[in-house]
Chain A
Amino acid sequence: AQSVAQPEDQVNVAEGNPLTVKCTYSVSGNPYLFWYVQYPNRGLQFLLKYITGDNLVKGSYGFEAEFNKSQTSFHLKKPSALVSDSALYFCAVRVPGKRQLTFGSGTQLTVLP
């Protein structure tokens, strides 16, 4: 069975500092990996995905994520955090051939001014 783990419930970072939100996965086969962001009382917005190719994926709003097959990780990163980046972030995985996404438990990111 596929699963996704986000080991940190909460991440705090000062504005202007780099941020990292961690994600590890467990699947059989090659995964499709996604990051989504959720603002209060809203649905999820797609940030970026890894399918194949370069391990460093660039997405929306200056976010990027690095796929590491040996560590089965797909950490979300941003070089310089903004207060407006404060939100709930979800990592998700889809196994090829399956339609649904499996989500991690979410990480609340707070960027302090």
Chain B
Amino acid sequence: GAVVSQHPSWVICKSGTSVKIECRSLDFQATTMFWYRQFPKQSLMLMATSNEGSKATYEQGVEKDKFLINHASLTLSTLTVTSAHPEDSSFYICSAGVNLRSSFSSYNSPLHFGNGTRLTVT
């Protein structure tokens, strides 16, 4: 089945530093990946949609200059939290779908999720 690998699983960084999170589709090509943020005991909040070879689409209220997304290949998307602050501490989860950009019929396909990254900013 489709596997999404997310790395690192957890990271602790100091305030003001930047952190990069990688999301890889291991056995399929993902033209579209999604980045979510989850606060404790809350639902997933979609941050942005990452499109291979083009700019990411950010949800309202998400700072694109703070959360940099790069989707340079069909199997890798990265999220960089720049100048991290304690309020950025959260659980970040990526997901990918198969051919979501090109195939209408694949819209009924489930998204496949990485195991998430626990970010703690001290």
- Residues of chain A at the chain B interface (Cβ within 8 Å): 32, 34, 36, 41-46, 49, 51, 90, 94, 96-106, 108
Contacts and interface: CB of A to CB of B under 8 A. Distances in A.
B-side interface size class: 20 to 34
Contacts of A103: 43-44
Given A41-B9, A43-B93, 19 more contacts: A41-B115, A42-B115, A42-B116, A44-B95, A44-B113, A96-B107, A97-B104, A98-B107, A99-B34, A99-B97, A99-B100, A99-B107, A100-B46, A100-B49, A101-B111, A104-B43, A106-B41, A106-B42, A106-B43
Interface in B1-52: 4, 6, 9-10, 32, 34, 41-44, 46, 49
Contacts of B91: 41
Interface of B: 4, 6, 9-10, 32, 34, 41-44, 46, 49, 91, 93, 95, 97, 100-101, 104, 107-108, 110-116, 118
A43 B46 CA distance: 14
Contacts of A34: 110
Given A32-B108, A98-B107, A108 B41 contact: yes
Nearest to A42: B115
26 contacts: A32-B108, A34-B110, A41-B9, A41-B116, A42-B115, A42-B116, A43-B6, A43-B93, A43-B113, A44-B93, A44-B113, A45-B113, A46-B110, A46-B112, A49-B108, A49-B110, A90-B43, A96-B104, A97-B107, A99-B32, A99-B49, A99-B107, A100-B46, A101-B46, A106-B43, A108-B41
